[in-house]
């Protein structure tokens, strides 16, 4: 009888243990601490990002310490509901406020589960505390810039920089090293949007491995340009022969059709152009002279003209558009030359722009040639200034035979007139790059 009772007790205990294990009350597995990228450095202000998980029975407590002579508690989190399985942390660390100093430290994360055994994971590793921000020394910057203009900047940074560029208002553009023998010297061309009518801050920034950031603001004069506004009359013939073939929708109403093509299709085409010209593959400038204008041509349409459209005497609402290049006309089917040395990065049909070519000239500068009848180059070709690359026509949304010539800098249209001006290019870029070459040596 006693043996049966003991067996009963054993079976109850075994069942209880099994139930406890199934419920996670008894569990032998430690929580997991997961970093997408384990930090090697902590700067003056850093973010610590990690995730803690425990599938069974869930989390009970998470603690974070930085150890440098003494234990500094950064986090103590005990606010977990029952069976809470995972949590992501983004912790702001102010090194100076915590009393950290330059040098080595240890980062320790402790995670405890909610089991009876309170399984504990202690994840520790060394980090370098870096409180010294990088240095940025401006070597050359624009004295003035206009809306729709291009600026050039050259500057030197300290060796520990891992990210740098120029911020123009709320836009950010890349700058590049490899232009000079000194790899710590960066430079770039950057655009100032044509649609901004007021002065915005232009700031050079640099970040080091620890996330320390230095910013230097450029001093410059802002020249406001008032671009032309015009109204263009469109006809039924134009809609049927030029607009309708560009639409992917069967829209009967001519006004709605024009509005759709001139706004929605145009945006798709320009988005494609912007994506191509954001992708800088040539850091070193390939341009050394003013860009070539189409031979024996006159300008028909100006840059940043704001155009409204009228059909049968009524303005089409919501169909306005900026003209983002310059139109040049010569003879019918005139030969088109590459404006300067470069590499062909696109050839093909671009909707409203028709048959088009895009050439990269280094430092983020590209030229666009549109409404062509024939394309005589292919993607990847290296072309020299004056090389015949195509023939003008009326492909896309063009009425008369002409060349749409555009200049884009890091994905944004700028005024080509500057790039056609030898004095502008010499004073803003060529003289400056020669001066920096003399001081630091060229490649």
Distance CA 247, CA 84 (A): 53
Backbone angles phi, psi at 118, to 5 degrees: 50, 60
pTM of the model: 0.86
pLDDT > 70? residue 103: yes
| Position 7 pLDDT exceeds 50 | no
First to last CA, the chain: 98
| Contact status, residue 218 vs residue 141, Cβ threshold 8 Å | yes
Please give the structure tokens belonging to residue 163: 């990210």
At a CB cut-off of 8 Å and minimum separation 6, what does 280 contact? Answer: 174, 176, 360, 363, 364, 410
- Give the residues across from 255 on adjacent strands: none
pLDDT of residue 144: 96
DSSP-based three-state secondary structure for 418: helix
pLDDT 10s digits, 157-187: 999 999 999 999 999 999 999 999 999 999 9
- State percent of the chain over pLDDT 90: 89
DSSP tag of 263:
I
What are the pLDDT digits (tens) for 266-309?
999 999 999 999 999 999 999 999 999 999 999 988 999 999 99
In angstroms, rounded to a whole number, what is the distance separating the alpha carbons of residues 62 and 123?
Answer: 11
- Integer Cα distance of 174 and 202 in angstroms: 13
Give the model confidence (pLDDT) of 29-72 as tens digits.
999 999 999 999 999 999 999 999 999 899 999 999 999 989 99
Answer yes or no: are the C-beta atoms of 128 and 41 closer than 8 Å.
Answer: yes
Q: Give the pLDDT of residue 27.
A: 81
Phi/psi for 177 (5° steps) reads: -100, -175
* Residues facing residue 347 across a β-bridge: 357
The set of long-range contacts for 168-171, using a CB threshold of 8 Å and a minimum separation of 24, is: 168/192, 168/193, 168/200, 168/201, 168/202, 169/193, 169/196, 169/200, 169/201, 171/412
CA-to-CA dists, residue 74 to 35, 92, 302, angstroms: 17, 9, 59
Gap between the Cα atoms of 205 and 272, Å rounded: 28
| C-alpha–C-alpha distance, residues 70 and 72, integer Å | 6
Q: How many CA atoms lie within 13 A of 351 on its CB side?
A: 18
HSE on the CB side for 10, CA within 13 Å? 6
Sequence spans of domains, the chain? 27-129, 136-225+429-440, 229-414
Alpha-carbon torsion 227, 230, 236, 238, what sign?
negative
Q: What is the pLDDT of residue 10?
A: 45
Give the number of other CB atoms < 10 A from CB of residue 93. Answer: 23
- Evaluated on CA atoms 138, 206, 277, 358, the torsion sign reads positive
Mean pLDDT of the chain: 92
* pLDDT > 70 in the chain, percent: 93
Handedness of CA 303, 273, 359, 278 (dihedral sign): positive
Cα separation values, 172 from 192, 218, 310, 424, 428, Å: 11, 14, 37, 24, 21
Give the architecture (CATH level 2) of 229-414: Distorted Sandwich (2.70)
CATH superfamily of 27-129: Immunoglobulins (2.60.40.10)
**Domain spanning 136-225+429-440: CATH 2.60.40.10:** yes
Instruction: Give the bridge partners for 173, in sequence order.
Output: 166
* SS3 label, residue 425: helix
Q: State residue 443's pLDDT score.
A: 52
Pick 12 or 100 by higher pLDDT: 100
- Torsion, Cα 253 259 261 264, to 10 degrees, reads -130
393 secondary structure, DSSP code: B
Confidence band for 19, pLDDT divided at 50, 70 and 90: very low
Question: Do the domains spanning 27-129 and 136-225+429-440 agree at the CATH topology level?
Answer: yes
What pLDDT score was predicted for residue 14?
41
């Amino acid at each position: 009888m006693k043996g049966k009772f003991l067996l009963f007790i054993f079976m109850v205990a075994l069942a209880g243990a099994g139930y406890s294990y199934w419920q996670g009350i008894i569990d032998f597995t430690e929580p997991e601490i997961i970093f997408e990228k384990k930090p090697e450095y902590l700067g003056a202000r850093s973010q610590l990002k990690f995730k803690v998980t425990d599938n069974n029975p869930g989390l009970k407590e998470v603690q974070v310490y930085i150890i440098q002579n003494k234990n500094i508690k950064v986090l103590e989190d005990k606010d977990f509901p029952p069976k809470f399985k995972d949590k992501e942390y983004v912790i702001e660390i102010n090194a100076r406020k915590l009393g950290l100093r330059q040098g080595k430290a240890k980062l320790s994360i402790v995670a405890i589960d909610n089991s009876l055994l309170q399984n504990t994971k202690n994840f520790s590793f060394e980090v370098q505390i870096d409180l010294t921000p990088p240095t940025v020394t401006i070597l050359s910057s624009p004295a003035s810039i206009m809306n729709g203009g291009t600026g050039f900047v050259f500057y030197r940074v300290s060796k520990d920089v891992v990210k740098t560029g120029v911020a123009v208002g709320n836009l950010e553009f890349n700058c590049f090293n490899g232009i000079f023998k000194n790899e710590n010297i960066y430079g770039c061309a950057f655009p100032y949007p044509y649609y901004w009518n007021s002065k915005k801050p232009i700031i050079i920034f640099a970040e080091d491995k620890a996330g320390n950031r230095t910013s230097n603001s450029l001093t410059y004069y802002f020249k406001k340009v008032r671009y032309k506004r015009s109204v263009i009359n469109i006809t039924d013939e134009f809609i049927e022969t030029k607009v309708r073939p560009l639409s992917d929708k069967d829209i009967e109403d001519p006004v709605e059709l024009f509005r759709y093509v001139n706004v929605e299709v145009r945006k798709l085409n320009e988005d494609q152009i912007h994506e191509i010209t954001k992708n800088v593959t040539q850091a070193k400038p390939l341009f050394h002279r003013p860009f070539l204008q189409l031979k024996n041509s006159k300008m028909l349409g100006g840059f940043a003209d704001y155009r409204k459209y009228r059909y049968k005497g009524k303005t089409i609402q919501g169909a306005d558009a900026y003209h983002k290049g310059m139109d040049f006309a010569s003879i019918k089917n005139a030969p088109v030359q590459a404006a300067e040395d470069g590499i062909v990065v696109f050839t093909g049909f671009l909707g409203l722009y028709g048959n088009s070519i895009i050439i990269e000239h280094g430092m983020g500068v590209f030229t666009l040639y549109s409404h062509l009848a024939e394309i005589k180059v292919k993607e990847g070709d290296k072309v020299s200034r004056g090389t015949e690359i195509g023939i003008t026509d009326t492909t896309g949304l063009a009425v008369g035979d002409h060349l749409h010539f555009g200049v884009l800098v890091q994905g944004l249209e700028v005024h080509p007139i500057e790039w056609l001006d030898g004095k502008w290019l010499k004073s803003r870029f060529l003289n400056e790059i020669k001066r920096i070459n003399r001081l630091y040596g060229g490649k």
